[in-house]
Amino acid sequence: MRPARRVLRKIAFEDISTGGSIIVFGPQRDMLHVAKNFMEFFVDESCGQCTPCREGNAKLLEGVKLLEDGRCSQDYLSDLLALGEAMQVTSKCGLGQSSPKALLSILANFRDEILDRTGRTG
């Protein structure tokens, strides 16, 4: 997920490898809602076999909901980012390894907008 200021890129293996898909959102789209939608999907689709995916996706969704409510502390947000990164390397399958990617990308590229909305600063 990249903000409009970073669109002068090539959709190619050498620059932005897409894995075969790309989604474009307009400026009116609430990126926190996008993150919530992705996380709800992954919570539902997790087979539950491995702990990082089963528990991690639920925790990431909980964090998105706290952000929506303006109740996510900087420390908890840092913990969520670390959890997402850990899930990418410890989950058994591709679903669990890729599930935190959207949230991590949204927080990396739209952090200020999300934190401004909750009354916090990055």
Task: Tell me the pTM.
Answer: 0.82
Q: Is the pLDDT of residue 99 over 70?
A: yes
Q: Which residues contact 2 (CB under 8 A, 6 or more apart)?
A: 9, 105, 109
Tell me: the pLDDT tens digits for 5-36?
666 777 677 776 656 667 778 888 899 999 99
Q: Which residues contact 11 (CB under 8 A, 6 or more apart)?
A: 18, 22
Tokens 């890729």, residue located: 98
